[in-house]
Amino acid sequence: MQELAELIGSNLKDLMLGRVVFSKQTNAGTDFFEWESRLEGKLLRDAELEETQKQQLIFARRGQGVFRTEVAKIEVRGCRVTGVDKTEHLRASHIKPWRDSDNEERLDGENGLMLTPMIDHLFDRGFITFENNGKIVISPVAHTPSLEQMGVSTNLRIGARPFSKGQKVYLDHHRELIFLEARNPH
């Protein structure tokens, strides 16, 4: 797969390695950390927000603080994919990315899932998503052997853990704008 990416070009290789974020809205890639840093800087310069609000929003971006507490109230059983339930091994992951959310959505517990760092990475980058019934969906551009080495099976199904109504709305956004689908050349 890596060799194919090199033949196609550096843009695909950077996307596959997680060095850029691809936006379906703009059809362009941007360095992930640069994008996040610019958004954080903009938030810090926002004169309409109090300092405490700014800090809570920044903590929410990093999966900490109020956001993590609110997500944990909904996601009480741990990671939906691996089953890991020790809080020190979990991240509060935004379903609708922090960079795409308004300030209210950034702190909304319904906009979150508790995931292990590896699963969080796959979800954030669009290599996996979830159907409303809980079934994991694997992107056709994901490298299957790597997923299996991470313990992600294409047959995974979340047990009796329904998503809340709010989570389903955010998951619609994730499936539509974040999840990496194969492009139809026609």
pLDDT for 151-161, tens place per residue?
787 665 555 57
- The rounded distance, in Å, linking the Cα atoms of 130 and 174 is 9
Length of the chain: 186
Residue 2 has pLDDT above 70, yes or no: no
- Is the Cβ–Cβ distance between 171 and 130 less than 8 Å? yes
Nearest to 125 by CA among 149, 146, 97, 155: 97
Condensed to tens digits (0 to 9), the pLDDT of residues 37-86 reads: 787 788 889 888 888 888 877 777 665 788 899 999 999 889 988 889 99
pLDDT reading at 109 higher than 90:
yes
**Is residue 172 within 8 Å of 137, Cβ to Cβ?**
no
- pLDDT of amino acid 11: 53
Would you tell me how many other CB atoms lie within 10 Å of the CB of residue 173? 17
Between 41 and 32, the more confident residue is 41
Percent of the chain with pLDDT over 70: 73
3-state secondary structure of 104: helix
Residue percentage of the chain with pLDDT more than 90: 39
d(CA 106, CA 165) in angstroms, rounded, equals 17
